[in-house]
Amino acid sequence: GENVEQHPSTLSVQEGDSAVIKCTYSDSASNYFPWYKQELGKRPQLIIDIRSNVGEKKDQRIAVTLNKTAKHFSLHITETQPEDSAVYFCAASTTGTASKLTFGTGTRLQVTL
């Protein structure tokens, strides 16, 4: 089955700096790669996603890149702010009617003043 690895597990940046979180996946049939943000005590919520026919997607301060050949994708957050502090999860979804969403182990991002 699909295996998603995520690095780093913790990341501390100063406010205004950029943050990059990287994920790799194993199943070449995966074609959907969402990123979720989970604030303390809250549910995970989608912040951005990318499909296999796109190499990069941007939404204001966040962007995601996908390299299907290397089977890795990354989340980039620019001009970080204290409210970006949270746990971020990458995920990959396989194709087909029995597809499922497999998550990485999460990255705890701390934005310091």
Q: Which of 42, 39, 37 is nearest to 62 (CA)?
A: 37
Using the minimum distance from each CB to other proteins, give the nearer residue, 7 or 81.
7
24 lies in the site for other proteins, by CB under 8 A: no
6, 104 Cβ separation under 8 angstroms: yes
Q: Does 106 bind other proteins (CB under 8 A)?
A: yes
Q: Per-residue contact track with other proteins, 42 to 81, x per CB under 8 A?
A: -xxxx--x-x------------------------------
Beta carbon nearer to other proteins, 42 or 58: 42
Asked if 4 and 104 count as a contact pair (C-beta separation under 8 A), the reply is yes
Cα 85 to Cα 78: distance, rounded to the nearest angstrom = 13
Tell me if 99 contacts other proteins by CB under 8 A.
yes
- How far out from the chain centre does Cα 20 lie? 9
Query: Which residues would be at the binding site for other proteins (CB under 8 A)?
Result: 1, 6, 31-32, 34, 43-46, 49, 51, 89, 93-106
